[in-house]
Amino acid sequence: RKPKGYPPGPKWWPIVGNYLQFRRRLTVLGYHHLVHEEFSRTYGPVVCFKMGRNIVVTVSGVEAIREVLTRDEFDGRPDGFFFRLRTFGKRLGIVFSDGKLWQRQRKFSLQHLKNFGFGKREMEAKIAEETRDLIEDLRKKSSDLVFMHNAFDVGVLNVLWTMMAGERFTLDDVRLIKLLQIVHDAFRLFDMSGGLLNQLPVLRFLAPGCCGYTKTVEILKRMWLFLEETIAEHRKTACSSHSRDLIDAFLREMQITSDSDSGFTDEQLLSLCLDLFMAGSETTSNTLGFAVLYMVKYPGVQKRVQEEMDEVVGRNRWPTMNDKINLPYTEAVLMETQRLANVPPLGVAHRATRTTNLFGYTVPEGAIVLTSLYSIHMDDAFWKDPKEFRPDRFLRDGKVTCPEWSFLPFGYGKRRCLGESLAKTNYFLFFTAMLHNFFLHKDPDTTEVVTDGCDGVTISPRPFRVRLASRYD
Ligand code: HEM
């Protein structure tokens, strides 16, 4: 039975808790975040579930989410079998670690990524190079219909990978394309609470295929192999006097640091690379995929973006970050895409690091806390007709206006997205390069443009094709 004082929620059943009930609603509603939304409509902004062994508290709406994201005791990340599986049974990496190791690793990663251009002019130059490559490649393919749901994968990853590992991949690099496909599959396989494998870890022995264990291990092995090879190559070619990239910087730090708690070990290096690779590729590519999809669905919006660019930038050069401030409609389109697509609908799971009180309810230490960013972005009390794609809602008197709490695509607080500046620059430059160069038209073989994505840790656009017509012919 649920202890007294816990937040409201559906009745718990022995062993499975609310798992079966959750699954049944998931079959009907199709998305994890919609099941959480349905429960929050019944029970309020703080809902408590038991999923196998895990207590999960979902918070919805601005007030409750603001409480969670601004209080230190919610800055933990969940622990458990699933969360440790990718990091050798330990709490490593950056996305799902906490405490001293996380603090040190987050600071180290940010500081050294900055040394290699992150958030600076060099980063913009790298992205510009990637956009040129992509546009050229799309031009070659444009006599046919082009798949666009994953068109940005390699270019987006290249920017991060140059800072991390000092190398980039060609757009047709088969090994990388396969790797990105398995990252994509991994994001579809799991959910933010850790899924069945975290709730009932014994299932890895009883039904390894059904609970996702076999597939997860297969994906991880391929990722580890790729990263191990990259790290081994760095060891062989590292120069003792200077670091070329984040991996080099980490290897140097391993030699000088004596503090064992700060985590400069071989396993942590691999885990950090894995986390940044996964966090940095899928989210941005999916967001760009949705942006293209909405432009195809709403040709009037596409036309306004192109007219704005023609007026401000002209046709003789491509848009740069300096133009952003003068392209308010374009920026509003990018924001509206993030609001409506909700690529990470439940953010990244948090954990209560001690038993605490939330809106008069007891949240026990160790509870997994999910923040429904979806509930904020789709709140009809704040956003009129939230299901409509309407970029003008982000404009006032021709200028971009952004509410502080009702738009949180990158989260908030100490756990806020580490890659936000890279993500925003990639997003703006790839999107504007696309629309500057091409008219995007619907696939004539389809009757309707479907914008409902695929469920998972992030929401991804379903595979779709576009007809690209050059704006320069
Ligand atoms: C449009 C693209 C992106 C979106 C929408 C996004 C969104 C988010 C969100 C919502 C969180 C969780 C915040 C929380 O826990 O409350 C997060 C965390 C994180 N993101 Fe991003 N992200 C994006 C791109 C990136 C990129 C490019 C990187 C690569 C460097 C990255 C690295 C991370 C990391 C490492 C964390 C965990 C931070 C921590 O736990 O301290 N993200 N992101």
Q: What is the 3-state secondary structure (H, E, C) of the chain?
A: CCCCCCCCCCCCECCCECHHHHHHHHHHHCCHHHHHHHHHHHHCCEEEEEECCEEEEEEEHHHHHHHHHHCHHHCECCCCHHHHHCCCCCCCCCCCCCHHHHHHHHHHHHHHHHHCCCCCHHHHHHHHHHHHHHHHHHHHHCCCCEECCCCCHHHHHHHHHHHHHCCCCCCCCHHHHHHHHHHHHHHHHCCCCCHHHHHCCCHHHHCCCCCCHHHHHHHHHHHHHHHHHHHHHHHHHCCCCCCCCHHHHHHHHHHHCCCHHHCCCHHHHHHHHHHHHHHHHHHHHHHHHHHHHHHHHCHHHHHHHHHHHHHHCCCCCCCCHHHHHHCHHHHHHHHHHHHHHCCCCCCCCEECCCCEEECCEEECCCCEEEEEHHHHHCCCCCCCCCCCCCHHHHEECCEECCCCCCCCCCCCCCCCCCCHHHHHHHHHHHHHHHHHHEEEEECCCCCCCCCCCECCCCCECCCCEEEEEECCC
Ligand 1: distance of its center to the CA of 201 in Å?
27
Ligand 1: distance of its center to the CA of 467 in Å?
32
Position 257 scores a pLDDT of: 81
pLDDT of 242 > 90? The answer is: no
pLDDT of 1 > 90? The answer is: no
Annotated binding site for heme: 417
User: Average of pLDDT values for 143-166?
Assistant: 93
pLDDT band for position 117 (50/70/90)?
A: confident
Position 227 scores a pLDDT of: 94
CA-proximal residue: ligand 1, atom 3 (nearest): 283
Give the least confident one: 189-198, 386-395, 457-466: 189-198
**pLDDT tens readout for residues 396-449:** 999 999 999 999 999 999 999 999 999 999 999 999 999 999 999 999 999 999
pLDDT of 473 > 80? The answer is: no
| Ligand 1 binding pocket mutation candidate from 340, 417, 427 (most atoms within 8 A of CB) | 417
Ligand 1: distance of its center to the CA of 153 in Å?
16
Ligand 1: distance of its center to the CA of 443 in Å?
32
CA-proximal residue: ligand 1, atom 18 (nearest): 417
Percent of the chain with pLDDT over 70: 100
pLDDT of 182 > 90? The answer is: no
Interface ipTM > 0.85:
yes
263 lines ligand 1 (CB under 6 A): no
pLDDT of 240 > 80? The answer is: no
pLDDT of 105 > 90? The answer is: yes
76 lines ligand 1 (CB under 6 A): no
Indicate which atom in ligand 1 lies nearest the CA of residue 286.
1
Record the pTM: 0.96
411 lines ligand 1 (CB under 6 A): yes
User: Average of pLDDT values for 182-211?
Assistant: 84
Ligand 1: distance of its center to the CA of 162 in Å?
18
pLDDT band for position 321 (50/70/90)?
A: very high
pLDDT of 262 > 80? The answer is: no
276 lines ligand 1 (CB under 6 A): yes
User: Average of pLDDT values for 365-387?
Assistant: 97
pLDDT of 13 > 80? The answer is: yes
User: Average of pLDDT values for 328-354?
Assistant: 97
User: Average of pLDDT values for 188-201?
Assistant: 81
Q: Cβ–Cβ contacts within 10 Å for residue 137, how many?
A: 17
418 lines ligand 1 (CB under 6 A): yes
CA-proximal residue: ligand 1, atom 32 (nearest): 419
pLDDT of 450 > 90? The answer is: yes
User: Average of pLDDT values for 6-32?
Assistant: 94
Ligand 1: distance of its center to the CA of 415 in Å?
8
Ligand 1: distance of its center to the CA of 409 in Å?
9
348 lines ligand 1 (CB under 6 A): yes
Ligand 1: distance of its center to the CA of 254 in Å?
25
pLDDT of 32 > 80? The answer is: yes
CA-proximal residue: ligand 1, atom 6 (nearest): 410
Position 368 scores a pLDDT of: 96
Rounded Cα distance, 445 and 452, in Å: 18
Return mean pLDDT, the chain.
Answer: 93
Position 209 scores a pLDDT of: 87
425 lines ligand 1 (CB under 6 A): no
Indicate which atom in ligand 1 lies nearest the CA of residue 409.
5
